[in-house]
Amino acid sequence: METLQILRQAEALLEDYGPLFLSDPKIVDLLGRLESAIEGSREAMERAGISVACSRCEKEEGGSCCGRGIEKHYTEWLLLVNLLLGVDLPSRRSDARSCFFLDESGCTLRARHIICINYLCQDILKKTDPILIRELREKEGEEALLLFALVERLKQRVRQHG
């Protein structure tokens, strides 16, 4: 399925069920906890110097992590979570060689697929202090678990509502 179709499905879910989702205390709690976990992961990436290294690689070496096609891993549920987090999803690709969700300032998504959360290339792994990698992995694990729990709760509420 095309990325724009999946994006439209996410928007339709938000339109149809947004008030239901935002009136569910468990969903609201998971959204807040996920937002904190995302911040924790991003701060750990900054501390480890990974954000700068990835940005440099993307701009100077043509990157590969966020290449065209990565967006095919995204479902309407992951995009829905981004909408619930207030993300303005793009309507077109910025660079024909890159992921649909990558623009000149980086990834436009807050909630990302697990491959985007925890992939680190061998160059980064070799050059980064293992203690900082371990700290990052702990933060990423928390982020992934909360994202999974939130998506499952959203699906459950849709099934319950009919």
Q: What is the pLDDT of residues 107-146, one digit of tens each?
A: 899 999 999 999 998 999 999 999 999 999 999 999 999 9
3-class DSSP state for residue 90? coil
How far apart are the C-alpha atoms of 100 and 103, rounded to whole Å?
8
Is the distance from CB of 100 to CB of 3 less than 8 angstroms? yes
Q: Which residue bears the tokens 């660079």?
A: 95
What b-and-e string marks burial along 68-102, b requiring 16 or more CB atoms within 10 Å of the CB?
Answer: eebbeebebbbbbbbbbbeeebbeebeeeebbbbb
Nearest to 111 by CA among 24, 30, 9, 38: 38
Could you tell me if 23 and 126 are in contact, meaning their C-beta atoms sit under 8 angstroms apart?
no
Tokens for 123? 């160059």
Instruction: Name the residue ranges covered by the structural domains of the chain.
Output: 3-161
Cα separation, 97 vs 90, in Å, equals 16
- For the cut 90, the answer to whether the pLDDT of residue 160 exceeds it is yes
Q: List residues bridging with 102 in a β-sheet.
A: 107
pLDDT of residue 103: 86
pLDDT on residue 57: 79
CB 9 within 8 A of CB 76: yes
What gap in Å lies between CA 92 and CA 153, rounded to an integer? 29
| Residue given tokens 């436009």 in the structure block | 108
| Tens-digit pLDDT profile for residues 90-113 | 999 988 888 999 888 888 999 999
Q: Is the pLDDT assigned to residue 59 strictly greater than 80?
A: no
**Residue found under tokens 């649909």:** 100
pTM, rounded to two decimals: 0.93
How far does CA 14 lie from the centroid of its chain? 17
